[in-house]
Structure 1
């Protein structure tokens, strides 16, 4: 997993907790769902070979970190790994499992909805932009996670949920449509417990 012996010792002694990245990596290596690893239950009593035969979908995980801030440059668009999720879990979210992928959010503009470091499940089949929903957008060379808002005059506003931070919306009228593409709709946000602010 690429975890140093000192860090592993800290995990074993309870001085440090696994983050989402480590949990996702363990699940990927074992071929199990995060629910199984975190909560156990009936699935935890099954042998790993039986779990591997269940109805899992391997979602590609991209190194591109979608900015929940001012925008991050998309450097590498190739998947860096996979994370397995249950097909039924994804369908219950309203997602089409075969079109889903994983991104990591960076920044505080979407706080508290999406905290810094959250893993996002995005559905690439959902590119029709609905008012009020959150999407992964590519704006020229930037990767953004923003809430979509439509104005009465047909302009699209990419807005932030963190009103206190004062992030201005990015506005797209007909003359800027060529700068924007929709990666997909954010269907699920996974993150560690958030500290009190």
Structure 2
């Protein structure tokens, strides 16, 4: 970590050492997108939302704001400002050998349904090695990946109550598979199967839970969050 004087010197030469200020703002935008929303990031950082949105739109941040942003993002100042890590440590954007994926506070109902909150707040960052993500999931970055928590036993034994479920938000085109979705204001995880008639079969893995059929005419409130690509199973 640089001293305050070193950081001030770095900031004073920011315009001359970066190709443009947009380089910093692009990195900041990537951090915000990985976190969830600009408002939730500002809240977690203790920054005024209006001031943070001003910086996102191209404004120049002060030193204290940079420090707050770097702490919340898990980046050192050099990496945040210049895109180069001075510590070689991991970051929640793309660290040395480690990629962290945000776990957010939505409870995915693997049962009768759990309310989907009006806002999504990040709970923590969960680290994965690049080798694991590349070898198991074919991914080189955490873009559009989030981790949610399953609640209920309708998908047991595939997904148990309390399991961590990784969702790829880019994979939101429906085909046969396990998806996280919102229907009628409820966030859920189920096996989905589209029919030729345009309906959607909602299938539980636990035989004690009945399957459902969402009619095509009732899909106005249906929204796919993303496809389940990994599950961290918890043993009792």
TM-score (norm 1): 0.66
Contact preservation (8 Å) 1:122, 1:184:
yes
Larger radius of gyration: 2
Q: Which residue of 1 aligns with 2:133?
A: 90
Counterpart in the other structure of 1:41: none
Instruction: Compare relative contact order (CA 8 Å, sep 6+) and give the higher one, 1 or 2.
Output: 1
Contact 1:148 1:156 in 2 (8 A): yes
Q: Could you tell me which runs of 5 or more consecutive residues in structure 1 were left unpaired when the two chains were aligned.
A: 1-30, 32-48
State the 1:50 CA deviation. Answer: 5.7
Aligned counterpart in structure 2 of residue 169 of structure 1, from 212, 217, 226 = 212
- Match of residue 165, structure 2, among 85, 101, 120: 120
SS in 1 for 2:219: helix
Aligned length: 144
Query: Which has the larger share of helix?
Result: 2
Q: Which residue of 1 aligns with 2:30?
A: none
Which structure dedicates a bigger proportion of its chain to strand? 1
In structure 1, the residue matched to 2:106 is: 64
The question of whether the paired residues in 1 share the 8 Å contact of 2:185 and 2:221 is answered with no
Residues 107-150 of structure 1, C-alpha deviation per residue, up to 9 Å, x if partnerless?
0100010011000111001001111x100001131000000112
- Is residue 87–residue 97 contact of structure 1 (8 Å, CA) maintained in 2? no
User: What is the TM-score normalised by the length of structure 2?
Assistant: 0.56
The superposition leaves residues 153-172 of structure 1 with CA deviations (integer Å, 9 ceiling, x where unpaired) of: 23111211111x13231413
Give distance in 2, aligned partners of 1:157 and 1:169.
6
Q: How does 1:1-197 map to 2 (within 5 A)?
A: 52=90, 53-75=95-117, 76-91=119-134, 92-95=136-139, 97-131=142-176, 133-163=177-207, 165-173=208-216, 175-194=217-236
Q: Give distance in 2, aligned partners of 1:94 and 1:108.
A: 29
Cα RMSD for the two superposed structures: 2.0
SS in 2 for 1:97: coil
Deviation at 1:99, TM superposition (A): 1.1
Unaligned runs of at least 5 residues, structure 2: 1-73, 75-86
Distance 1:170 1:82, change over 3 A: farther
